Structure 1
Amino acid sequence: MAWLPEILPLREQAAIHDTWLKMRLERLVPELLEREQVDMWLVVCREYNEDPVIMSLLPATSMSARRRTILVFARDAAGNVERLTLSRYGYEGFYAAAWEPNAETQRDCLARLIRERDPQRIGINISPLWAFGDGLSHIEYELLCSALGEEFLPRLVSAERLCVGWLERRLPEEITAYSRLVEIGHRIIARAFSTAVIHPGITTTDDVVWWMRQTMQDAGLSAWFQPTINIQAPGIAFAFLGDDDARKVIQPGDLLHCDMGFHYLGLATDQQQHAYVLRPGENDAPQGLREALAIGNRLQDIHLAEMQVGRCGNEVLSAALTKAQAEGIRAQIYSHPLGVHGHAAGPLIGLWDQQSGVPGIGDYPLYDDTVYSIELNIAHNVPEWGGQAVRIMLEEDAALTNGEMRWLHGRQESLYLVG
């Protein structure tokens, strides 16, 4: 696949993962513990019932938790952080081994470490709001409480914001690399929306979906959801939840929409773009469709301008929709953080079916050095289609750094043309 940028071999990917992990542990953990005023953070889980944060804390050769994995982050009065593991299988270079199985049980070791360090606020991963901060299972919580005893139980606090902060924050090195990931996604979409893949009148939307999925697999990328391809055409409107009876064969005159994303280097992408299938004699899409895309781009500009450090997701949503409405744009915004996960930790900025805001997760503020999938749509009546309302569904990846939003690898400003 000469048209696709080089994907690094697994060994090189692992080396990058471990380099970034050491940097993140050294730079971010002390800062986040201080920010959330947590003296000790406990991450406890068992093999095949992993906490949502655990794999982001382990080196690349760790494919899962082992038996029971316990990580301890202890902050002293000077702000220094001790990183310990209570496990039969150590993580040399990342965590210091603190348990001697022949001398004491794992729970006794944890209780001793806590007594010796005497933390006033012990963060554990329990949360009624964030899945990312709710990785401590019920049984592990009961065992932990039993080990701690009455003296330390009142000191347990939710580490939900610590989990979110750890997952959402990106190193400058990660953000620099992220641009290449997004470029790879754009290259795959451009190839999919071309005659190299689409033969109008023969190729189906499912054909393109599976070409995308297979291409990612063959390249060494891991799709984190099944791609989608949708058709809009005169008499065929966009269906948010899909339409099993919709026409699947791609025909001249169709407006195509794709949604795809993958994991690479421990980071996720999420992108949506459009293509127009030329009719015989056409050399461009109808003016009404080109105008619709331009309106979608304008909504992107409005949205990015409202994304400011310290604002919460609901404030960004309200301000952007208010400005869009003032300009006569029929808009919906449902952007989300992007990072270790596709629908990642951080503030939600709307949901497609919750345009008045998302209580709780939408109240979390935007922080610097974070990445977002800017996801939205506009409706526009297209004269060439008899005034039919067409939805332009756009999703591009952007970073918030130094207080400003920027696209990681540009955005779509013209329709792909197939034919």
Structure 2
Amino acid sequence: MKIKFIFSLFILVLISCNQQKEEVSKINSVEYWGENPWPEIRKKRINTLLPNALKEANVDCWLVICRENNNDPLADHVGGENAGGTAAFLFYNDDNGFHSKVFSPSGESTALDELNIHDEVVPVERGKSAIEQAVTFIKAQNFSKIAINSSQSNSTADGLSYTQRQTLESFLGSDANKLVSSTEVVYNWLSIKLPEEVAILTKAAELTAQFQIEAYQQIIPGTSTDADIAKFLKQKMAEYGVKDGWAPDQNPNVNSGPDRGHSHATDKVIMPGDVIQIDFGIKLYDRWVSDIQRFAYVLKEGETKAPKDIQFYWDSGKAGSRAALAAMKPGVKGVDVDRAQRVLMNKANSEYVMWSTGHPVGYVAHDVGPNLGGSQSSHVRPASEKKLKEGMTFAFDGFHAWKREDGTEKTISVEEMAVVTKDGARYLTKPQEELILIKSH
């Protein structure tokens, strides 16, 4: 009996090991998996997109100060993520073209120079100030406008600390009046994605949509909870080695009840007659983020299709999403994209929805770029007045909201992802065409 038991245990261990090998093999065979492309993409972004971003912002020079632990949000976009002592990164245009120059502590300058990101890395001796040496160079160039990361409207462009600014201004003296916010530089630079980045975002969108379809297939009405389905999606993320697109506690948001806004999945049991929303995003290479929603209806006993009212709500939201995509093209303002689908919402007698039609998505779920909103607001946010450009990527919705029998509200928000092209926009993955129907068991 003991030999038989040991043999059985051995067989179970072998099966477990084989299953683990299969899982690892699956992860390694995923098309997007491989060496992180960020280093080369970053270098290309600096050399091809940043020169024009400086010109569009009408500044001569952009200064980014990096340091250890409490670093600038843009440190890893400019190559300063490994800063220990204070380093000053300069980007500027002159008659000879675009240049990047870094004043780095000598103990780190060799490694930074070997990355071959910047034209020149100047070692700063121990005890000397990188900021002071950068200012000496800036004064010699006689730049008229120097952009720094201090912004009231863009947190990504607001990384300069109060004490860093004090130090900078003390070295600049009377030239401190040349300092301007980098808001427009950062906006013009980060809002555009390279084709290589669009390809990665496309893979992220495809996986996000695929995982949600699989999640809906797990539902057992009357048994499964919203939290159960969220847990399944977390397992898919672990299986594929991807991270959360936003705060882990609220990703994914699975909601089969009334609207909860940005929130976590609860232990509500999914029942026949429920409309289910999954709002979900993943992050690839710890860098590029997706944001997609998929909707389903749980059939009641005897139903073979969604009731007319639910089907109408779905069709209305879908029509709004398609109208928003059709409105996206270079030169169009974000507020006008919002208006395109709001017109249909009004015709369909939708309840008011406070959310914008869409937002940029890329490095974070709510990225830098034009906001697709404001047409129904008392005031339009500055970002909604910005014009769309080729290479911008968005997550956007078509809305329909209604009052439920208990007086609460429910919103269908047909959220897809798209990239702006030369003469329009295209989806990053196949959009949801039909409301997913879940049979009651």
Answer whether TM exceeds 0.5 for this pair. yes
1:5–1:184 CA contact under 8 A, matched in 2: no
Mapped to 2, the partners of 1:317 and 1:4 lie a distance apart of: 41
Structure 1 length-normalised TM: 0.86
For residue 256 of structure 2, give the secondary structure of its aligned residue in structure 1.
strand
Mapped to 2, the partners of 1:351 and 1:120 lie a distance apart of: 35
The 1:36–1:193 alpha-carbon spacing in structure 2 relative to 1, beyond 3 Å, is same
What is the aligned counterpart of 1:19 among 9, 26, 40? 40
1:153 deviates by: 1.0
Mapped to 2, the partners of 1:402 and 1:50 lie a distance apart of: 36
1:109 deviates by: 1.6
Match of 2:194 in 1: 171
What is the aligned counterpart of 2:256 among 225, 231, 236? 231
What is the aligned counterpart of 2:334 among 313, 319, 322? 313
For residue 75 of structure 1, give the secondary structure of its aligned residue in structure 2.
strand
What is the aligned counterpart of 1:84 among 102, 106, 112? 102
Mapped to 2, the partners of 1:243 and 1:190 lie a distance apart of: 19
1:55 counterpart = 2:79: no
Report matched runs for 1:206-245 at 5 Å.
206-223=227-244, 224-225=246-247, 226=250, 227-232=252-257, 237-240=258-261
1:145 counterpart = 2:182: no
The 1:68–1:176 alpha-carbon spacing in structure 2 relative to 1, beyond 3 Å, is same
For residue 406 of structure 1, give the secondary structure of its aligned residue in structure 2.
strand
For residue 163 of structure 1, give the secondary structure of its aligned residue in structure 2.
helix
2:43–2:117 CA contact under 8 A, matched in 1: yes
Report matched runs for 1:225-374 at 5 Å.
225=247, 226=250, 227-232=252-257, 237-240=258-261, 248-265=268-285, 266-322=287-343, 324-326=345-347, 332=353, 334=356, 335-350=358-373, 355-374=377-396
Mapped to 1, the partners of 2:434 and 2:336 lie a distance apart of: 30
1:238–1:390 CA contact under 8 A, matched in 2: yes
1:356 deviates by: 4.4
The 1:85–1:416 alpha-carbon spacing in structure 2 relative to 1, beyond 3 Å, is farther
1:73 counterpart = 2:91: yes
String of CA shifts for 1:367-387, please: whole Å, max 9, x gaps: 2210011034212589xx899
1:155 counterpart = 2:178: yes
Mapped to 2, the partners of 1:292 and 1:313 lie a distance apart of: 25
1:83–1:94 CA contact under 8 A, matched in 2: no
For residue 108 of structure 2, give the secondary structure of its aligned residue in structure 1.
coil
Specify the code of the residue in structure 1 equivalent to 2:414: L
Q: Which has the larger radius of gyration?
A: 2
The 1:331–1:402 alpha-carbon spacing in structure 2 relative to 1, beyond 3 Å, is farther
1:228–1:259 CA contact under 8 A, matched in 2: yes
The 1:121–1:399 alpha-carbon spacing in structure 2 relative to 1, beyond 3 Å, is same
Mapped to 1, the partners of 2:29 and 2:217 lie a distance apart of: 18
Mapped to 1, the partners of 2:402 and 2:127 lie a distance apart of: 71
Mapped to 2, the partners of 1:319 and 1:340 lie a distance apart of: 27
String of CA shifts for 1:216-237, please: whole Å, max 9, x gaps: 13421110232111114xxxx4
Of 74-83 and 120-129, deviating more is 74-83
Structure 2 unmatched ranges of 5 or more? 1-22
String of CA shifts for 1:12-39, please: whole Å, max 9, x gaps: 342x111211211111011111221211
1:346 deviates by: 1.0
Mapped to 2, the partners of 1:222 and 1:7 lie a distance apart of: 17
Mapped to 2, the partners of 1:5 and 1:416 lie a distance apart of: 29
- Alignment coverage as a number of residue pairs: 402
Percent sequence identity over matched residues? 26
1:411 counterpart = 2:431: yes
For residue 381 of structure 2, give the secondary structure of its aligned residue in structure 1.
coil
The 1:401–1:69 alpha-carbon spacing in structure 2 relative to 1, beyond 3 Å, is farther
The 1:211–1:58 alpha-carbon spacing in structure 2 relative to 1, beyond 3 Å, is farther
1:126 deviates by: 1.1
Mapped to 2, the partners of 1:255 and 1:51 lie a distance apart of: 43
Mapped to 1, the partners of 2:66 and 2:267 lie a distance apart of: 47
1:129–1:361 CA contact under 8 A, matched in 2: no
Mapped to 1, the partners of 2:237 and 2:398 lie a distance apart of: 24
1:350–1:356 CA contact under 8 A, matched in 2: no
The 1:206–1:355 alpha-carbon spacing in structure 2 relative to 1, beyond 3 Å, is farther
Mapped to 2, the partners of 1:390 and 1:380 lie a distance apart of: 6
1:122 deviates by: 0.7
Match of 1:394 in 2: 414
Mapped to 1, the partners of 2:198 and 2:101 lie a distance apart of: 25
Mapped to 1, the partners of 2:438 and 2:341 lie a distance apart of: 33
For residue 97 of structure 2, give the secondary structure of its aligned residue in structure 1.
coil
1:89 deviates by: 2.2
For residue 149 of structure 1, give the secondary structure of its aligned residue in structure 2.
helix
The 1:389–1:146 alpha-carbon spacing in structure 2 relative to 1, beyond 3 Å, is closer
1:43 counterpart = 2:61: no
Mapped to 2, the partners of 1:284 and 1:146 lie a distance apart of: 71
Structure with more helix by fraction: 2
The 1:229–1:158 alpha-carbon spacing in structure 2 relative to 1, beyond 3 Å, is same
The 1:388–1:345 alpha-carbon spacing in structure 2 relative to 1, beyond 3 Å, is closer
Of 79-88 and 173-182, deviating more is 79-88
1:256–1:276 CA contact under 8 A, matched in 2: yes
Structure 1 unmatched ranges of 5 or more? none
String of CA shifts for 1:156-200, please: whole Å, max 9, x gaps: 1111011122211111222133211100001110111113xx222
Report matched runs for 1:370-389 at 5 Å.
370-379=392-401
For residue 420 of structure 2, give the secondary structure of its aligned residue in structure 1.
strand
For residue 336 of structure 1, give the secondary structure of its aligned residue in structure 2.
strand
2:297–2:436 CA contact under 8 A, matched in 1: yes
